[in-house]
């Protein structure tokens, strides 16, 4: 048995999320079936982290333990033949047995895409959150600057009562930029709480719309309590962009 690392991209629209769930189709389940169809064996797929229903990935990382007998590049082609078109294997490499897709990760990068226009282009509707008016990106950047660094992000977790060892996380890098009608929020951190990125995006949208003040960001962080002031942005705009090792 050898350990292999794969990079995977997927469109999460049709799936109940990453993790296998009863009576629903999950991305992990589809990948495991593809490995089984290819090898004739039951192979457990370990992901770098979970994504929710409707969330996408440009660079999810997985590892598997298997007895592969051909070069890794051959398994990229062989698996893609067996996968639906909304899930693609991008690369494969043999790694040391100590590598673990989740535990070995140093940081993860998420990107959230906001489309600001009166009319949403149909081909973008599954990959952007739509706002009808131009947002105040300067105020959004000021709010984002407060969130960068190490904080207790309980107020930006959709379910702060969910059992976790700690709600303290570090955001190493946080940027916001405009490209045409897109606003792209990028967050790279050592870990993220349940719906934390979507909560940050939801808060920034409120600030950009003038419904909240950027200066209130610190008091919300300090409260450590999730309230209706921080909405959870829609899943369509979110991508797991890259995992850093």
Q: What pLDDT sits at residue 164? A: 83
Q: Give the model confidence (pLDDT) of 175-189 as tens digits.
A: 999 999 999 999 999
Q: Give the model confidence (pLDDT) of 77-99 as tens digits.
A: 999 999 999 999 999 999 999 99
Task: Please state, rounded to an integer, the average pLDDT across all residues of the chain.
Answer: 95
Residue of 11, 37, 52, 97 with catalytic role? 52
Assign 71 a pLDDT band (cuts: 50, 70, 90).
confident
Residue 222's domain is classified under what CATH number? 3.30.70.660
Are 88 and 208 in the same domain? no
pLDDT above 90: residue 220 = yes
Q: Take residue 164 and report the two structure tokens written for it.
A: 């976790």
Assign 24 a pLDDT band (cuts: 50, 70, 90).
very high
pLDDT above 80: residue 163 = no
Mean pLDDT value of segment 141-145? 98
Whether residue 7 contacts residue 91, with contact meaning beta carbons closer than 8 Å, is answered with: yes
Task: Identify the H or E element spanning 89.
Answer: strand 87-95
- Whether 11 sits among the annotated catalytic residues: the reply is no
Assign 162 a pLDDT band (cuts: 50, 70, 90).
low
Mean pLDDT value of segment 203-214? 98
Domain that holds residue 6: 2-95
Are 200 and 124 in the same domain? yes
Number of domains in the chain: 2
Instruction: Supply the pTM of this predicted model.
Output: 0.94
Q: Give the model confidence (pLDDT) of 35-54 as tens digits.
A: 999 999 899 999 999 999 99
Which of 63, 95, 127 is the last residue in one of the domains? Answer: 95
Establish if 102 belongs to a structural domain: no
Are 144 and 230 in the same domain? yes
């Amino acid at each position: 048995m050898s350990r292999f690392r794969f990079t995977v991209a997927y469109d999460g629209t049709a799936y109940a999320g990453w993790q296998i769930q009863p009576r629903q189709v999950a991305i992990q389940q589809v990948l495991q079936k593809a490995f089984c169809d290819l090898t004739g064996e039951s192979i457990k797929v370990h992901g770098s982290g979970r994504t929710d229903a409707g969330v996408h990935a440009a660079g999810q990382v997985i590892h598997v333990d298997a007895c592969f007998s051909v070069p890794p590049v051959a398994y990229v082609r062989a698996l893609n033949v067996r996968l639906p078109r909304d899930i693609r294997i991008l690369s494969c490499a043999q790694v040391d047995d100590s590598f673990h897709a989740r535990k070995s990760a140093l940081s993860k990068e998420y990107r959230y895409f906001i489309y600001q226009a009166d009319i949403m282009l149909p081909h973008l509707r599954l990959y952007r959150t739509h706002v009808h008016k131009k947002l105040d990106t300067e105020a959004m950047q000021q709010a984002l600057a407060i969130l960068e660094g190490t904080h207790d992000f309980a107020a930006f977790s959709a379910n702060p009562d969910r059992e976790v060892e700690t709600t303290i996380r570090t955001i190493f890098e946080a940027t916001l930029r405009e490209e045409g009608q897109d606003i792209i929020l990028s967050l790279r951190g050592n870990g993220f709480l349940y719906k934390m990125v979507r909560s940050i995006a939801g808060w920034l949208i409120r600030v950009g719309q003038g419904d909240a003040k950027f200066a209130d960001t610190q008091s919300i962080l300090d409260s450590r309590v999730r309230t209706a002031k921080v909405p959870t942005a829609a899943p369509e705009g979110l991508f797991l962009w890259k995992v850093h090792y």
